[in-house]
Amino acid sequence: MKRNKKDRQSLLKDTIEEKPFITDDALAKLFNVSIQTIRLDRMELNIPELRERIKSVATSTWNETVKALPIDEVIGEIIDLELDQRAISILDITAEHVFSRNKIARGHHLFAQANSLAVAVINDQLALTTNADIKFTRQVVEGERVIAKAKVVGTEINNRTVVEVHSHVDSETVFTGVFEMFRSKEEKEGIQQ
């Protein structure tokens, strides 16, 4: 059902506030209009494109927060971070991430997103992966958006922190991993089990 411009723009604004990671393509399908119409509506409403919204938040917040690696070394874009608690990143799968013959994402990109998020969530200058138990649960294809969520689930002896990462496309799990992270002793003292 087509809506008039005013109603569509009002709903567009509400939808982006509710689902900040939604793409222009998904919005175009949702509102049954062209991507160009969505882009024009966003421009009129002064809503930047998704990548710019994420970069704005990431640049101002995470550069000063992530300790274990430079923000530009994180695979995917961090959109939420609470050190030693949880983190979320997104990775849009493009032609550079897939096999050319079948458009299926190469597994090392999904692993890299999850592993770098597990490193980024550690509140320490030194965070190294000592062990990873991973499982790919479904193929990811070009054009899909992978949302990875990391959660610190505990600490173990020998300066280790355990981080679980679950990656989804829409609501479907595509990757899970349990990462055992080494960190320096002095930074670890503040972590709760």
Same domain assignment for residues 158 and 95: yes
Q: Are residues 117 and 160 in the same domain?
A: yes
Alpha-helical runs (H) found in 19-77: 24-31, 35-44, 50-65
State how many domains the chain has. Answer: 2
CB 105 within 8 A of CB 113: no
Domain span including residue 126: 54-188
Does pLDDT of 90 surpass 70?
Answer: yes
Look at 33-47, 68-82, 91-105, 132-146 and tell me which has the smallest mean pLDDT. Answer: 68-82
Specify the CATH number for the domain of residue 93: 3.10.129.10
Please state which of the ranges 31-45, 56-70, 127-141 shows the lowest mean pLDDT: 56-70
**pTM confidence score:** 0.66
Instruction: Supply the mean pLDDT for the chain.
Output: 84
What is the predicted pLDDT for the residue at 72? 66
Residues 8, 39: Cα–Cα separation, whole Å = 12
Query: Residue 191: pLDDT above 80?
Result: no
Cα distances from 135 to residues 36, 87, 102, 109, 111, in angstroms, run 38, 19, 21, 13, 9
- What is the token pair recorded at 133? 């138990």
What distance in Å separates the CA atoms of residue 117 and residue 77, rounded to the nearest whole number? 9
193 within domain boundaries? no
2 CB-contact burial (10 Å; exposed 0-12 / middle 13-18 / buried 19+): exposed
Residue type at position 104: I
Q: For the chain, how far is it from start to end, CA to CA, in angstroms?
A: 52
Residue (of 35, 42, 46) closest to 9 by Cα position: 42
Does residue 90 fall inside a structural domain?
yes
Q: What is the mean pLDDT of residues 114-120?
A: 93
- The number of residues in the chain equals 193
Which is more confidently placed, 53 or 23? 23
- For 127-180, how does the pLDDT look when each residue is reduced to its tens digit (9 = 90+)? 899 999 999 999 999 999 999 999 999 877 677 899 999 999 998 999 999 999
156 occurs within a structural domain: yes
By the 8 A CB rule, do 152 and 84 touch? yes
**Which pLDDT score is estimated for 83?**
85
Q: Report the C-alpha gap between 74 and 95 in whole angstroms.
A: 19
Do both 121 and 87 map to the same domain? yes
**Looking at the structure, do residues 70 and 157 belong to the same domain, yes or no?**
yes
